[in-house]
Structure 1
Amino acid sequence: MTSESVMAFLAEYWLIFLSILGLIAASAFFSGSETALTATSRARMHTLEANGEVRAGIVNRLIERRDRLIGALLIGNNLVNILASSLTTSLFLGLFGDSGVAIATIAMTVLLVIFSEVLPKSWAISSPDRFALFVSPVVRIYVAIAGPLSTAVNGIVRVILGIFGVTLSNDEPMLTAHEELRGAVNLLHREGAVIKADRDRLGGILDLDELEVSDIMVHRTSMRVLNADEPPEAIVRTILESAYTRMPVWRGSTDNIIGVVHAKDLLRALAEPDMEPANLDITKVVQKPWFVPDTTNLKEQLNAFLRRKGHFAIVVDEYGEVQGLVTLEDILEEIVGDISDEHDIDIQGVRQEADGSIVVDGGVPIRDLNRALDWNLPDEEATTIAGLVIHESKSIPEERQAFTFYGKRFIVMKRVKNRITKLRIRPAEAQQPAE
């Protein structure tokens, strides 16, 4: 064909050219909308809707029925792509004869890949929330029109998959809400958007359902308790010298907790006229003890503390024997980390050595080590670091005995009777002869 005939042909078929360009633009719209609406943050959309953003509400309603939305967009995208390719093929056949089919195929492949797939999807994924808000009004109208067809297509797909034993269900998600939150927080931490302290606090909140009071309680061997049969002066002196505001009181046996004394109640009693420490009857000052099972999870215990407006509970096992005590502060520390005040006693439970090793008291909780040092030691079978060593070694180790597991070298430094009281921990690859 001569140049004059080509120009005449283009002048005659300019409407087809404009139609092809319009169809490519429509394909780009469908591709970008699909990417943005499937990648947008539902949490951010809910926040924006609560703040009065009308388009965010449209986005939320669209993604509530994701299968209907995606089906409608895919139908529209395929429809405009096929129509654009057909028009181009027809046009090129008139321009180039039989070779126009091959030319049209190559040209449309390049145009659709660049301008209808890669470009709009890259744009949408770079800012999915903004893109979704922008296209949502138009998409809502389109889905209202094409939605019934999309629903019919989805029904046919489900029937076909059902023949092969595949069932599609939207009722049960693969991840729980807690797992999704935890995964999002960990991902943001790795990307640097969330600092370690914030990750630990959020993780602490999510862990409340998985931990029991036995995991964080003060064990009975570490409890500070009062014997009700001791002289009143000794009891008063012990309470005033203690760093704790509440202390359990027992009589006859440490398993027989008869009450909990609060330092303020003691001071009020001593402030009574003609009251001397020697005349104090501690049983008239104590509050009724609150006993909780050691299997209670922390979320339930926290709610119980809030309902009762209490701060202190005695932990017992299934036989009613005292196992330890738990306070509201213990649970809050699982969320925010250690809470210290001017009366707290500084206990050196973890010490960094010059050679890079860590010297740890046996009673240090595994969770505290994991938080402080960003380790991942398991805490399902044991609560303390000494308990982990005993569990993994299946024995009560001797002093200077060493074990390697979970990428760490554990060396028993001190043992008192059957209790491991001090350990040295270093990376497994940095093994040295046991001390």
Structure 2
Amino acid sequence: MMDWDLWLTVGAIIVLLAMSAFFSGSETALTAASRARLMQFEKQGSRRAGTASKLMEMRERLIGALLVGNNLVNILSSALATQALLQIFGDTAIVYATFIMTALVLVFSEVLPKTLAILRPEAFALVVAPVVRVIVIIFAPVTNLVNRIVALILRAFGVRADMASVQSAREEIRGAVDLQHADGALHKSDRDRLGAILDLAELDVSDVMVHRTRIRMLDVALPPAELVAEAAASPYTRMPLFEGESDNIVGILHAKDLLRAVQSLGGDMDKLNVRAIAKPPWYVPESTMLHDQLNAFLKKKAHFALVIDEYGEVMGLITLEDIIEEIVGEIEDEYDNEVEGLRVEPDGSVLVDGSVSIRDLNRALDWDLPDDEATTAAGLVIHEAQMIPDVGQAFTFHGVKFEVAERERNRITLLKATRQETE
């Protein structure tokens, strides 16, 4: 009779260890599974994926229920093992039970199921989701009570559980993209595009605009023949027209409108009225977020806008192509330079125009220069040096040595940049 009771106890311990393995594996799978993949499975008609997604949304209740169940079965199995071994070894059974149950729980109820779950978290989650849902419902009163007790204890130490910071989805995606690139599963160009899409919510138009010193404008007072010649020589299809001073922009001239007007006049330039065919300028504040400006371009079916500061002064221009290039990289045609403003020298150094943006520099050379305090390479050097350096002066910061190669008045026009090797 005693042997029969002993075998029943051993069988109960095996069942409890299996239940412990189920709780441990379920916890790992439902916390490590990708919600994006589960959402795809749900769209394909998987009801189990929908159940798993709902369980992951109530993370506190899920983990609480699984921990309660896991602790219950572990404690019960240890108690049964101690009772069974007492019949065999007497008072020394407590020592044997401790070592034996620790080994069994560690191997079969913790490491083994969690390893299986982490290898295929989504598949494991789909299998256990229906059962776990029932467990969460059954243990709901206990887990709610435990969570309240924990919250009260934390509050006594000045910690608010409901105020815990949660990593934003944007940063989570960015981290996943960088990890895939580091592992070699994602090409640099793909990483740059995905990262640029995430950056749209953090950039404003002033970060990517063409500065006013680089804008190519046409003087409306020029003779029509000269104006047409300048427009034909320009690599751009849209150019601002100014009258008197360059800040007094009276319209935006499109090369196609100019061509139609010249054709309709039979080539008679003297009758050409450039002001009449120019479009009215569209002004946007420099603080406009880049994704808002992209939506505005698409909604208005426009490609070109002038950027102004808080005083109404023209700071630069922004085009739809500029924003798209932030996502896909440089869009080059037969009139563009291969890499505008950058030239790699045979010694490995890079000649950089001062007006090149830091974002373009980082993207082209895979550097990591900060763009919080400055937008251009020249601006970064001035900010870090806290002065306007002379030609020949060199500075090293953020792992790059910058040497001033050319300067016009107070404007740095050319820099020589060399990446410094770090141990």
What's the TM-score, normalizing by structure 2? 0.96
Preserved CA contact (<8 Å) 2:282 2:305: yes
Shift of 1:273: 5.2
Q: Give the structure 1 partner of residue 21 of structure 2.
A: 28
Q: Give the structure 1 partner of residue 224 of structure 2.
A: 232
Percent sequence identity is 55
Which 10-residue stretch deviates more, 69-78 or 95-104? Answer: 95-104
Preserved CA contact (<8 Å) 1:69 1:147: no
In the TM superposition, 1:364-375 aligns within 5 A as 364-375=356-367
Are residues 1:50 and 2:53 paired? no
Shift of 1:390: 1.2
Which 10-residue stretch deviates more, 64-73 or 157-166? Answer: 157-166
2:400 to 391, 394, 408: 408
Partner deviation per Cα, 1:329-362 (whole Å, 9 max, x = no partner): 0011111100012233446521222222222121
Separation in 1, partners of 2:165, 2:36: 17
2:112 to 113, 119, 138: 119
Q: Give the structure 1 partner of residue 132 of structure 2.
A: 139
| Structure 1 gap segments, 5+ residues each | 1-7, 431-435
Separation in 2, partners of 1:83, 1:253: 88
> Given the superposition, is the C-alpha separation of residues 71 and 246 from structure 1 closer, same or farther in structure 2, using an over 3 Å criterion?
same
Separation in 2, partners of 1:273, 1:282: 12
Separation in 2, partners of 1:55, 1:107: 37
Q: Give the structure 1 partner of residue 255 of structure 2.
A: 263
Which 10-residue stretch deviates more, 27-36 or 231-240? Answer: 231-240
Shift of 1:20: 0.7
Which 10-residue stretch deviates more, 367-376 or 181-190? Answer: 181-190
Which 10-residue stretch deviates more, 206-215 or 279-288? Answer: 206-215
What's the TM-score, normalizing by structure 1? 0.93
In the TM superposition, 1:96-175 aligns within 5 A as 96-169=89-162, 173-175=165-167
- The secondary structure found in structure 2 opposite 1:13 is helix
- The secondary structure found in structure 2 opposite 1:43 is helix
2:344 to 352, 364, 372: 352
- The secondary structure found in structure 1 opposite 2:174 is helix
Q: Give the structure 2 partner of residue 208 of structure 1.
A: 200
Are residues 1:85 and 2:78 paired? yes
Partner deviation per Cα, 1:143-197 (whole Å, 9 max, x = no partner): 1211222112111221222222221117x64322222222222122222222211
Shift of 1:429: 5.1
Shift of 1:207: 1.2
Shift of 1:400: 0.9
User: Between Structure 1 and Structure 2, how many residues are aligned?
Assistant: 422
Shift of 1:275: 5.5
Shift of 1:373: 1.2
In the TM superposition, 1:232-311 aligns within 5 A as 232-272=224-264, 274=266, 276-311=268-303
Partner deviation per Cα, 1:41-81 (whole Å, 9 max, x = no partner): 11221222122111110011111111111111011101111
- The secondary structure found in structure 2 opposite 1:33 is helix
Separation in 2, partners of 1:169, 1:264: 59
RMSD, aligned α-carbons: 1.7
- The secondary structure found in structure 1 opposite 2:291 is helix
Are residues 1:189 and 2:152 paired? no
Preserved CA contact (<8 Å) 1:243 1:345: no
Q: Which amino acid aligns with 1:388?
A: L
- The secondary structure found in structure 2 opposite 1:19 is helix
- The secondary structure found in structure 1 opposite 2:418 is strand
Separation in 2, partners of 1:328, 1:307: 12
Q: Which amino acid aligns with 1:52?
A: G
Preserved CA contact (<8 Å) 1:40 1:128: yes
- The secondary structure found in structure 1 opposite 2:95 is helix
Q: Give the structure 2 partner of residue 378 of structure 1.
A: 370
- The secondary structure found in structure 1 opposite 2:247 is strand
- The secondary structure found in structure 1 opposite 2:264 is coil
| Structure 2 gap segments, 5+ residues each | none
Q: Which amino acid aligns with 1:324?
A: G
Q: Give the structure 1 partner of residue 212 of structure 2.
A: 220
Shift of 1:12: 4.2
- The secondary structure found in structure 2 opposite 1:224 is coil
> Given the superposition, is the C-alpha separation of residues 318 and 259 from structure 1 closer, same or farther in structure 2, using an over 3 Å criterion?
same
Q: Which amino acid aligns with 1:78?
A: N
Which 10-residue stretch deviates more, 245-254 or 148-157? Answer: 148-157
Which 10-residue stretch deviates more, 146-155 or 331-340? Answer: 146-155
